[in-house]
Amino acid sequence: MVGSLLTVCAPLLVASLAATVAASTDTAAKAAVPSVVRRTMLIVHHVDASRRFYREILGFEVWLENNGKVTADGPPSSAPLGAPSRFLIMKGKHPWIGMVGLLEYGGPRPLPKTPPRLYPGDAVLMIETDGVQAVYRRMQAAGTPILKPPKTQEVTGAGGVRWDATFLFAWDPDGHLLEINQRGPIRSAGTGTGVAGVASGEVTLRREFFDGRYGQLHLRRAMPRQTTGIVPPVMLLYQTPLLGRMFSELLPELGRSRLVLAPDTPGYGESAGPAEPPTVADYADALHELIAEQKEPVDLLGYHTGALLAAQIAARHPESVRRLVLISMPFFDAERRANLRTLTPLAEDGSALLAEWKSTMSVRPAGQSLEQAARFVAEKQRAGTRAAFAMAALAAYDAESMLRSIRVPTILIAPKDGLAANTAAAAALIPGAKHVEMPQWSYGLFDADPAAATQVILEALDSPLPKQPVTTH
Q: How confident is the model at residue 76 (pLDDT cuts 50, 70, 90)?
A: confident
pLDDT digits (tens, 9 = 90+) for 80-135: 899 999 999 999 877 667 899 999 998 899 999 999 889 898 999 999 998 999 99
pLDDT for 21 beyond 50: no
Run of H or E residues at 446: helix 445-448
Sign of CA dihedral 357, 361, 365, 370: positive
SS3 of 97-138: the string is CCEEEEEEECCCCCCCCCCCCCCCCCCEEEEEECCHHHHHHH
pLDDT digits (tens, 9 = 90+) for 410-452: 999 999 888 999 999 999 999 999 999 998 888 778 887 888 8
Give, as one character, the DSSP assignment of residue 246: G
Where are any strands of DSSP class E within 202-309?
A: 203-212, 215-224, 234-237, 260-263, 298-303
pTM attached to this predicted model: 0.58
Measured over all CA atoms, what is the biggest interatomic distance in the chain, rounded to whole angstroms?
A: 87
Give the residue, 472 or 326, on which the prediction is more confident. Answer: 326
What are the chain's domains? Answer: 4-16+32-188 (3.10.180.10), 203-462 (3.40.50.1820)
The CA distance from 308 to 316, in Å, is 12
The CA distance from 346 to 74, in Å, is 68
The number of beta carbons lying within 10 Å of the beta carbon of residue 451 is: 11
Give the residue, 185 or 426, on which the prediction is more confident. Answer: 426
Mean pLDDT of all residues in 275-287:
93
Give the residue, 187 or 20, on which the prediction is more confident. Answer: 187
Give the residue, 203 or 217, on which the prediction is more confident. Answer: 217
CB within 8 Å of 269: residues ≥ 6 apart: 218, 242, 243, 244, 245, 379, 382
Q: How confident is the model at residue 47 (pLDDT cuts 50, 70, 90)?
A: very high
Give the residue, 339 or 376, on which the prediction is more confident. Answer: 339
The CA distance from 323 to 302, in Å, is 11
